[in-house]
């Protein structure tokens, strides 16, 4: 919990960071000046494409890309019609704030998460523990999984434009974006692989053996798969330049911490009388928020950002 406290307290105690233009990667955001970052004009997109941070272009590009996605028929296997519309809105947010790097991070989560949901599907359906709607994501799934990433991306954009007093530095907010998605992908991998291949499933609070699919249940196979899932997004974050290599390990560790917190919530509170509002999507949002806060706290403590 002290890691979460560090990440949360930084929102209110860190100095305001002001920049002249949106930086392309985390390295461009570093500066020895305490209040301003003088950066050359640049873009977050490859040469020849439109600059990031322009809403009309983000809308147009996402419309074209999602149109092709829908026309291919692939979207019907991953998203409900309303989920498709909300995923488009999320794509607009990520592209208009972070450029292609943020957009691809969201796409990577969707593709990897959808793929692992189908692993061992026949077995999970026979046991009655498979995801509803064949694993297709609706609006509640989109925002339960990615609302934290979207909020961090919007805060990042406001910080680099100097339009608001954002306490966290832009590099820390980028870690929040990556860590929240890494946390949720790790959770998805842990849940789906655990239900399909977990040999011994037990509650995280009492270590009592329970059937696969029980809220708050964990398994060795699922835990290892969860670490692998978070590594995928953390690796992408480093490879794309969204965050420095030193932030990778804190991000994966934060995802593991957050997913254990989620398991405890599932075992002790979710589905209990009087807590009907604590739906799976609300728990997912809490999970990603804890992951982002823990990653930021760890990175600030270790000097990774």
- pLDDT tens column, 39-90: 333 334 333 333 444 788 889 988 998 888 888 887 778 888 899 899 999 9
What is the model's pTM?
Answer: 0.81
What gap in Å lies between CA 258 and CA 62, rounded to an integer? 31
Indicate if the pLDDT at residue 206 is higher than 80: yes
The full set of domain ranges for the chain reads 2-31+52-302
State the pLDDT confidence band at 134, using cuts at 50, 70 and 90. Answer: low
Are 61 and 95 within 8 A, CB to CB? yes
Comparing CA positions, the residue from 178, 188, 169 lying closest to residue 247 is: 178
Q: Which residues contact 78 (CB under 8 A, 6 or more apart)?
A: 110, 111, 114, 135, 136, 137
What gap in Å lies between CA 21 and CA 18, rounded to an integer? 9
- Which pLDDT tens digit goes with each residue over 247-304? 999 999 999 999 999 999 988 888 787 788 888 899 999 999 999 999 999 999 999 9
Structure tokens at 237: 């974050």
3-state DSSP assignment of residue 5:
helix
Torsions phi, psi of 282, nearest 5? -65, -40
């Amino acid at each position: 919990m002290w890691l979460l406290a560090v990440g949360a307290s930084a929102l209110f105690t860190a100095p305001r960071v002001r920049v002249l233009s949106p930086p392309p990667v985390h390295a461009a955001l570093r500066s020895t000046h305490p209040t301003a970052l003088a950066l050359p004009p640049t873009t977050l997109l490859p040469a020849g494409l439109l600059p990031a941070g322009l809403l009309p272009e983000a809308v147009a590009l996402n419309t074209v890309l999602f149109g092709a996605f829908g026309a291919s028929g692939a979207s019907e296997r991953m998203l409900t019609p309303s989920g498709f519309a909300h995923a488009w809105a999320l794509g607009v947010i990520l592209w208009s704030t972070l450029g292609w790097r943020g957009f691809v991070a969201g796409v990577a989560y969707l593709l990897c998460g959808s793929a692992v949901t189908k692993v061992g599907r026949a077995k999970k359906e026979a046991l009655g523990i498979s995801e509803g709607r064949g694993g297709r994501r609706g609006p509640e799934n989109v925002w339960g999984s990615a609302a934290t990433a979207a909020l961090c991306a919007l805060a990042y954009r406001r910080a680099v434009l100097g339009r608001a007093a954002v306490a966290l530095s832009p590099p820390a907010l980028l870690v929040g974006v990556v860590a929240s998605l890494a946390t949720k992908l790790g959770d998805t991998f842990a849940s789906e692989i655990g239900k399909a291949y977990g040999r011994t499933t037990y509650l995280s609070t009492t270590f009592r053996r329970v059937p696969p699919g029980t809220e708050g249940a964990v398994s060795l196979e699922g835990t290892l798969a969860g670490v692998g899932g978070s590594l995928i997004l953390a690796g992408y974050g480093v490879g794309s330049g969204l965050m420095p290599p030193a932030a990778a390990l804190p991000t994966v560790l934060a995802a593991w911490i957050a997913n254990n917190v989620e398991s405890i919530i599932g075992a002790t509170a979710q589905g209990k009388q009087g807590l009907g509002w604590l739906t799976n999507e609300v728990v997912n949002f809490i999970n990603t928020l804890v992951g982002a806060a823990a990653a930021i706290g760890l990175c600030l403590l270790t000097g990774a950002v």
